[in-house]
Amino acid sequence: NYLDLYLENHNGILYSRVHHQHNQQPYTLPYISSKGNSIRKHSHWLRSSLLRAIRYCTSIEDFNHERIYLEMTYLANGYSI
């Protein structure tokens, strides 16, 4: 694991996906200061996180798992998709 990337060698084939720290509470959004539009900033976070998942995930199953995780995080914090 390197930062938020999980890398593994599967018999000479590189496998990667997004890694989440197990000691962090799931479904939490990053802190946004009260200045500015937090909805817009969290929308930017969701878009950036989805782009990161596209870059990191070598399988469609892992991408879909990460996409669902991000959508659940967004919904759990009172936002709509």
Residue 34 has pLDDT above 70, yes or no: no
What is the three-class DSSP state of 59?
coil
Q: What is the C-alpha separation between 31 and 71, in angstroms, rounded?
A: 17
Residue-range domain boundaries for the chain: 5-76
* Amino acid, res. 71: E
Q: What is the C-alpha separation between 41 and 70, in angstroms, rounded?
A: 15
Specify the pTM. 0.83
Backbone φ and ψ of 14, nearest 5°: -75, 130
pLDDT at 2: 63
